[in-house]
Chain A
Amino acid sequence: MTELSQTGAAVGEPTTGAAPDAFLEVRDLKVHFPTDDGVVKSVDGLSFSLEKGRTLAIVGESGSGKSVTSQAIMGLHRLGTRGKNVRMSGEIWLDGKELVSAAPDEVRKLRGREMAMIFQDPLSAMHPYYKVGDQIVEAYRVHHKVGRKEARKRAVEMLDRVGIPEPAKRVDSYPHEFSGGMRQRAMIAMALVNNPELLIADEPTTALDVTVQAQILDLIRDLQKEFGSAVIMITHDLGVVAEIADEVLVMYGGRCVERGPAAEVFETPQHPYTWGLLGSMPRIDRETSERLIPVKGQPPSLINVPSGCAFHPRCPYADIPKGNVTRTVRPELEQVGTGHWSACHLSAEDRTRIWTEEIAPKL
């Protein structure tokens, strides 16, 4: 079985137990939250891997499990009052260390140093009572035994690096004295202060002005090149994906439905849900008279996930495969191209036909 993990980057059903070659590898990750109404299966068997210097975009609608996945990697679920209620299984390997079974304090020491996170809303994500510089200093000093002065120098340096003007002055500003884009830059400075090898950005541009979004994406891309870190970009914005991602992972109902190199997923998407996402994306080169094609219906309940293929209630092609297979059998990821995987019951011919004849012309 170990041979399989050699090619781990693209394996749907990976081996368990042994350390992988990949920098980050997630194997059959499950994150369940027991509630009074039942168990919420936010992530239910997710596997992927990521190399340093590469960017993976995790795409999906609200509640598809993309944010939960990122917080699971960071080990943030297990903290606080709700921490006791989480059931987590599977494996998360970061640079040869397994995180799901690791002691909480071990994971804590990795947080902020080897893996860091940027959040959606930089205003609420920064402490309103502390100066921006002090918050960066704090992030640095958790993992480095240095004095205040040295850490402060480092904070100024980072603020300068993320493009904040007059960093030596702004280091003493409070978050509310920054504009939205500046705050997100400061958040990025805070996340990168320890040179983490994995950077998780959870919808980093969603709360920002459109004009600032591109700047922030550029910044993340530049910094990634400079530091050579792996980046996971959580987003529901396919525009962001096209801009920045090397690989794409499409999530639906807590599972991966399609995964592959970004260019391939955009050019020959293989899953009806991915088609839906592409169809609902506004494009500048499309006639304004044409309407967006939304994915019909509601995101699935994560307590009573639909049987068979979780997407079947919303899938226009659910009746094409013979028998009742879409309603009874859960499709597993199958290889559909080089490093390109999809979990769909439709036959390859049907998929190609529908994509080329029905979907692609409308996009």
Chain B
Amino acid sequence: MISYILRRTFAAVILLLVVSAVTFAIFFLLPRLVGQTADQLAQQYIGKSPSKADIAAVKHNLGLDQPVYVQYWHFIKGIVAGADYNLGPTTVHCDAPCFGYSFKDHVAVWPQLTSRLPVTLSLAVGAAVMWLVSGVVVGVISALKPRSVFDRTFMGVALAGVSLPMFFTGSLAILLFTYQWPIFGRTYVPFTDNPAQWANTLFPAWCSLALLYSAIYARLTRSGMLETMNEDFIRTARAKGLPERNVVVRHGLRAALTPIITVFGMDLGLLLGGAVITESVFSLHGIGEYAVQGITDNDLPKILGVTLLAAFFVVIANLVVDVLYAAADPRVRLS
């Protein structure tokens, strides 16, 4: 088990390196291949009508005049060992892990990411708990009474939930519950400051996001349960004289839940890399919003930082899911 986790962690580091190289190549190498020069790149970050000397200085300070692989090396080295940046009058040291400075607002990327992470984390985890619980409960009841009124109603709602875009449900939730009837707060409050206020503000965002996902989870659970409840071991459980509730929960749900946990881990991992649309709709200053800034400004360090962080979460989620799976299903051996 331990050696398995160590090996997987090592593989994860390699994978993250590859992801960083590919991302780096997309944003630094591709533009050059299609003819963009370092001068033009540098010019983007200075603003209107820069002088030749300005361009040269920026180019040199940001290292844009060096070959791409050297730039990549500096980037990776910065993450591991920190780096020094010449920002004109002074040189600043950027502690490891250093993801560089934003080209645009000249703020270090890593502290920005860490300060925004709690927001994204709050949004993702809160919504995840909601959608997992509601999706599984609805799915189980639907599976136990297939084609009943409950089943048809909730599967209809689920279909709507999947189809409705966040722009719509999110905006509607804000309009109704923070403006029309101001039940919920408007500005994010950190959990550590005031948990009640934190939950209160995030609630509409959780619901909107959870609606999207719980629809999928309800359907997954329903089909999984329908299949499981026809298994032979369910008949055995009944033949033992177990009360039906125990048959459903201990034998049926236990088996049906395992694949759902897998999907859940992946979804949560993806979401931790930034719920771009939800954060934008609810004006939450999280990773997703940071990514949007980076992309609109063509701010490469931001984009790189977010991409690597997102990749990190996905890789970690993958690892956790695999370990959990082995814990849940004794037939799976980690090797």
Show the binding face of A for B, using Cβ within 8 Å: 74, 76, 79-81, 108-113, 116-117, 119, 121, 124-129, 131, 138-139, 142-143, 174, 176, 187, 190-191
B238/A119 in contact, CB under 8 A: no
Give residues of chain B (66-89) contacting chain A, Cβ–Cβ below 8 Å. Answer: none
Q: Which residue of B lies closest to A108 (CB)?
A: B241
B139 to chain A, nearest CB (A): 14
Q: Select one of A80, A116, A126, A138 contacting B242, CB under 8 A.
A: A138
B237 within 8 A of A: yes
Interface-side segment among B172-180, B225-233, B303-311: B225-233
- Bound complex: CA A79 to CA B247 (Å): 11
Q: Which residue of A lies closest to B225 (CB)?
A: A81
- Bound complex: CA A263 to CA B254 (Å): 48
A257 to chain B, nearest CB (A): 28
Given the known inter-chain contacts A111-B240, A112-B239, please indicate yes or no for A80 contacting B331, CB distance below 8 A: no
B284 to chain A, nearest CB (A): 39
Write out the residue numbers on chain B whose beta carbons fall within 8 Å of the beta carbon of A126: 233, 236
A80/B233 in contact, CB under 8 A: no
B243/A108 in contact, CB under 8 A: yes
Question: Can you report 6 residue pairs joining A to B where beta carbons are below 8 Å apart?
Answer: A81-B229, A111-B240, A112-B241, A116-B239, A119-B235, A127-B237
Write out the residue numbers on chain B whose beta carbons fall within 8 Å of the beta carbon of A143: 241
Write out the residue numbers on chain B whose beta carbons fall within 8 Å of the beta carbon of A74: 239
- Bound complex: CA A108 to CA B229 (Å): 18
Scan B264-296; emit 1 where CB is below 8 A from any A CB, else 0: 000000000000000000000000000000000
Contact residues of A: prevailing secondary structure? mixed
Q: Which residue of A lies closest to B251 (CB)?
A: A127
A129/B330 in contact, CB under 8 A: yes
B242/A176 in contact, CB under 8 A: no
Write out the residue numbers on chain B whose beta carbons fall within 8 Å of the beta carbon of A116: 239
B29 within 8 A of A: no
Other CB < 8 Å A-B pairs besides A80-B234, A129-B254, 8 of them? A76-B239, A81-B144, A112-B242, A119-B239, A125-B235, A127-B233, A129-B255, A138-B242
Q: Select one of A110, A121, A128 contacting B329, CB under 8 A.
A: A128
Give residues of chain B (122-158) contacting chain A, Cβ–Cβ below 8 Å. Answer: 143-146
- Bound complex: CA A81 to CA B230 (Å): 9
B334 to chain A, nearest CB (A): 15
Write out the residue numbers on chain A whose beta carbons fall within 8 Å of the beta carbon of B237: 127
A124/B146 in contact, CB under 8 A: no
Write out the residue numbers on chain B whose beta carbons fall within 8 Å of the beta carbon of A142: 240-242
Show the binding face of B for A, using Cβ within 8 Å: 143-146, 226, 229-244, 247, 251, 254-255, 258, 328-331
Write out the residue numbers on chain A whose beta carbons fall within 8 Å of the beta carbon of B240: 111-112, 138-139, 142, 190
Number of A-B contacts (CB under 8 A): 80
Q: Which residue of B lies closest to A74 (CB)?
A: B239
Write out the residue numbers on chain A whose beta carbons fall within 8 Å of the beta carbon of B242: 112, 138, 142
- Bound complex: CA A169 to CA B255 (Å): 25
A124/B231 in contact, CB under 8 A: yes
A185 to chain B, nearest CB (A): 15
Q: Which residue of A lies closest to B231 (CB)?
A: A124
- Bound complex: CA A107 to CA B178 (Å): 54
B143 to chain A, nearest CB (A): 8
- Bound complex: CA A112 to CA B240 (Å): 4
- Bound complex: CA A187 to CA B233 (Å): 11
B239 to chain A, nearest CB (A): 5
Write out the residue numbers on chain A whose beta carbons fall within 8 Å of the beta carbon of B145: 81
B207 to chain A, nearest CB (A): 31
Q: Which residue of A lies closest to B230 (CB)?
A: A80
B241/A113 in contact, CB under 8 A: yes
Q: Which residue of B lies closest to A107 (CB)?
A: B241
A109 to chain B, nearest CB (A): 6
Write out the residue numbers on chain A whose beta carbons fall within 8 Å of the beta carbon of B236: 119, 125-127, 187, 190
Which of A76, A109, A129, A131 has the most B CB atoms < 10 Å from its CB? A129
A128/B331 in contact, CB under 8 A: yes
Given the known inter-chain contacts A112-B239, A142-B240, please indicate yes or no for A128 contacting B330, CB distance below 8 A: yes
Q: Which residue of A lies closest to B235 (CB)?
A: A76
A64 to chain B, nearest CB (A): 20
A79/B331 in contact, CB under 8 A: no
B233/A124 in contact, CB under 8 A: yes
- Bound complex: CA A125 to CA B329 (Å): 16
Q: Which residue of A lies closest to B145 (CB)?
A: A81
Write out the residue numbers on chain A whose beta carbons fall within 8 Å of the beta carbon of B255: 127-129
Write out the residue numbers on chain B whose beta carbons fall within 8 Å of the beta carbon of A125: 232-233, 235-236
Write out the residue numbers on chain B whose beta carbons fall within 8 Å of the beta carbon of A113: 241
Given the known inter-chain contacts A111-B239, A128-B331, please indicate yes or no for A79 contacting B244, CB distance below 8 A: yes
B146 to chain A, nearest CB (A): 6
Name the 10 nearest CB pairs between A and B, nearest first: A112-B241, A111-B241, A124-B232, A112-B240, A139-B240, A127-B233, A125-B232, A174-B330, A117-B239, A125-B236
Q: Which residue of A lies closest to B330 (CB)?
A: A174
Q: Select one of B229, B241, B254, B331 contacting A174, CB under 8 A.
A: B331
Q: Select one of A108, A109, A110, A128 contacting B233, CB under 8 A.
A: A128
- Bound complex: CA A68 to CA B255 (Å): 26
- Bound complex: CA A74 to CA B247 (Å): 16
Q: Which residue of B lies closest to A127 (CB)?
A: B233
B250 to chain A, nearest CB (A): 8
Which of B143, B146, B232 has the most A CB atoms < 10 Å from its CB? B232
- Bound complex: CA A108 to CA B238 (Å): 8
Q: Select one of A108, A119, A138 contacting B232, CB under 8 A.
A: A119
Write out the residue numbers on chain A whose beta carbons fall within 8 Å of the beta carbon of B235: 76, 119, 125
- Bound complex: CA A190 to CA B144 (Å): 27
Write out the residue numbers on chain A whose beta carbons fall within 8 Å of the beta carbon of B231: 124
Q: Which residue of A lies closest to B331 (CB)?
A: A176
Write out the residue numbers on chain A whose beta carbons fall within 8 Å of the beta carbon of B239: 74, 76, 111-112, 116-117, 119, 191
